[in-house]
Amino acid sequence: MEVMRLKKDNIPAVIELLGNGKPYVLPHHDYVYWIMEEYFPSSNYVVSADNKIIGFICALPSIDKQSYFIWQIVVDENYRGKKVATILVNQIIDEAKLKGFNKLELTINCDNKASYNLFERTANEHKGRLKSIGEYRYKDSNEIVYSIEFRS
């Protein structure tokens, strides 16, 4: 497995991967991922294996909150349970630490137990805790907003 920053050439594969991640993640227009690659290159990563993209994470740094917001994370169903998501989240934590941040924020759909378990495990591994700080509701979407503080 190889971790690398999102590149323009990866965008079609990322959109396809996100399309297979329903119902918890959905792809957006390729322009959105071009913006992420062009303006936020240190917070968007892919993992490749067997000559294909098998994982993707998209995060945004917030100077105001001194944190990174994890917007999307997805792993190819054939590679789940192989620590791909953990590798991606740890990459964002490393980037956050480089910027002097010590917190992640994210939302998790109430039905997405795998995502909850991933971030609870991540918090424990980094001597932090997964803390509910709010909620987001829109139409059929019911997301809990969480934060994880870690040592920088």
The CATH number given to whatever domain includes residue 98 is 3.40.630.30
Angle of CA points 59, 61, 65, to nearest 5°: 125
**Count of domains in the chain?**
1
| Residue 137 pLDDT grade (very low, low, confident, very high; cuts 50, 70, 90) | confident
Percent of the chain with pLDDT over 90: 88
* pLDDT surpassing 80 at residue 142: yes
Which residue segment(s) compose the domain that 110 sits in?
A: 2-149
Radius of gyration of the chain (CA): 15
Instruction: Calculate mean pLDDT across residues 85-104.
Output: 96
Query: Which residues, 6 or more positions from 43, have their beta carbon under 8 angstroms from its beta carbon?
Result: 36, 58, 59, 60, 61, 68, 92, 95
Q: What is the pLDDT of residues 12-69, one digit of tens each?
A: 999 999 999 888 899 999 999 999 999 999 999 999 999 999 999 999 999 888 999 9
Per-residue pLDDT, 17: 97
Indicate the range of 3-17, 119-133, 135-149 predicted with least confidence.
135-149
Residue listed under structure tokens 């993992």:
47
Per-residue pLDDT, 43: 95
d(CA 125, CA 103): 14
Average pLDDT, the chain: 94
